């Protein structure tokens, strides 16, 4: 009986996590597509201002699917984490499990109106988008690329943050806080300067805040030029690493097909 129970859990694990033989992997793909449909369905109500009756049915179906998925993953946590009985205690605190739990919380108002607090649920439901990271192979591949190049990307991020701070500091002290020509505020606070430096670095430049002195405009031009270079650095790194990861994935599939 115990062996049968273990075999059943092993089969569930293989289907949920895409392990085992070709039959399990095929079933896993169907399961992943089903969960992707549930995730998309759960996001649909966020695209409307009004709360239509149909959305309640969607919420019941999707939350039920998410609860079952959470239970299945928790019930096979020892096979995933490989820490025996401690796995069942550790699993609820893993990032993926926390995302799963947050996606379930909005559905608690279906049980009782007292849980209406969770209808900041329109915010919590956005967490469902993060579930795509688990069920989409392409997004998972992209996340592996980010993890692989995290040291390079972190270096570029630190460089960008330093440049934003430096540019904001120069601009905040170089520019008058009141435009003498119009009498309107320019850089009223240091946060305004940080905001301006960030949107200029990314070459967006909304134009709602802009320098009025010659020194400020020179700083703005230099910031735009350096912004192109700094933003281009991670783009090249990610593209090269993603293509490498894609090639490795294709080689792996070709090897499995032989």
How confident is the model over 207-221, as pLDDT tens digits? 677 777 788 888 888
Phi-psi region of 178 (alpha: psi -120 to 50; beta: other; left: phi over 0): beta
Average pLDDT over residues 51-80: 87
- 185 forms beta bridges with 178
Confidence at residue 136, expressed as pLDDT on a 0 to 100 scale: 65
- 178 forms beta bridges with 185
Confidence at residue 167, expressed as pLDDT on a 0 to 100 scale: 86
CB-based contact 226:148 (threshold 8 Å)? no
| Neighbouring C-beta atoms of residue 131, cutoff 10 Å | 22
CB-based contact 223:209 (threshold 8 Å)? no
The yes-or-no verdict on residue 109 having pLDDT over 80 is no
Average pLDDT over residues 124-139: 64
The yes-or-no verdict on residue 253 having pLDDT over 50 is yes
The structure's pTM equals 0.60
If DSSP codes are grouped into helix, strand and coil, which group holds residue 178? strand
User: How far is it, in rounded angstroms, from Cα 100 to Cα 91?
Assistant: 11
pLDDT per position as a tens digit, 3-37: 556 678 888 888 888 776 777 778 888 888 888 88
In this prediction, what percent of the chain has a pLDDT beyond 70?
A: 77
Q: Which two tokens stand for residue 253?
A: 């599939």
């Amino acid at each position: 009986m115990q062996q049968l129970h273990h075999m059943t859990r092993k089969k569930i694990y293989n289907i949920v996590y895409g392990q085992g033989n070709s039959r399990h992997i095929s079933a896993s793909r169907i399961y992943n597509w089903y969960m992707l449909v549930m995730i998309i369905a759960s996001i649909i109500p966020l695209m409307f201002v009004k709360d239509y009756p149909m959305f309640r049915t969607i919420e019941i179906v999707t939350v039920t699917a998410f609860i079952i998925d959470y239970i299945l993953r928790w019930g096979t946590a020892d096979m995933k984490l490989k820490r025996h009985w401690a796995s069942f205690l550790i699993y609820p605190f893993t990032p993926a499990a926390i995302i799963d739990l947050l996606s379930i919380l909005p559905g608690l108002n279906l049980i009782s109106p007292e849980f209406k607090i969770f209808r900041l649920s329109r915010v919590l439901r956005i967490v469902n988008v993060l579930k795509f990271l688990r069920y989409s192979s392409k997004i998972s591949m992209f996340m592996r690329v980010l993890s692989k190049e995290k040291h390079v990307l972190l270096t570029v991020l630190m460089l960008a943050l330093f440049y934003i701070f430096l540019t904001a500091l120069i601009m905040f002290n170089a520019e008058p806080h009141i435009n003498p020509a119009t009498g309107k505020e320019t850089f009223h606070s240091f946060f305004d300067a940080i905001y301006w430096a960030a949107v200029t670095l990314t070459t967006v430049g909304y134009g709602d805040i802009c320098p009025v002195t010659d020194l400020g405009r020179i700083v703005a031009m230099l910031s735009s030029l350096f912004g192109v270079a700094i933003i281009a650095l991670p783009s090249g790194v990610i593209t090269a690493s993603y293509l490498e990861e894609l090639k490795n994935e294709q080689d792996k599939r070709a090897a499995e097909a032989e």
